[in-house]
Amino acid sequence: MCHCSVRHLCYRNAPSLCCPISSGRFRIITQFFTLFLLLFAEINNKFDETLKQDCLRSPSGNDYTGRHNRTASGASCQRWSVKYPNYHNYDDIAYFADFQANVATTITDVSNYCRNPASTSASEPQPWCYTMRKGSRDEYEFCDIPRCKRKLT
């Protein structure tokens, strides 16, 4: 329910936000920009909610920074900061999307989360991790992370 006075506009999805109605020739322009800014804020909020979801936003998951830490088979992921039980060369935080999102991120912050790190070679088709299984040098599995559902309506 809108609580604005008669000389104010009430935005449909934010009834507590009241915008003054200007008088004179700038009334339409003022209302247009006010509604534009409110609509932009609503779209931005929905985009922020999508970013906070623990889901894949891109097909390859190269930008995934969520907290899934088990493979599709249920195996626990090995920490990226250690090289046991499986040796790997992904010890540079620059390989990870977490670093692009926040340059203060360290390899320890990536923990044992599923990732699709970028390297000089082609990346994998989806996020993955090294498992805690002792085995061959490249003992890794893909993670089953749901795709994000983006609704901007």
Residues 139 and 74 in one domain: yes
Q: How many residues does the chain have?
A: 153
pTM: 0.61
Residues 68 and 141 in one domain: yes
Residue after which a domain boundary falls, among 52, 70, 85: 52
pLDDT tens for 103-126 read 888 999 999 999 999 865 567 889
Task: Please state, rounded to an integer, the average pLDDT across all residues of the chain.
Answer: 75
**Domains in the chain, number:** 2
Residue 91 binned pLDDT confidence (cut-offs 50, 70, 90): confident
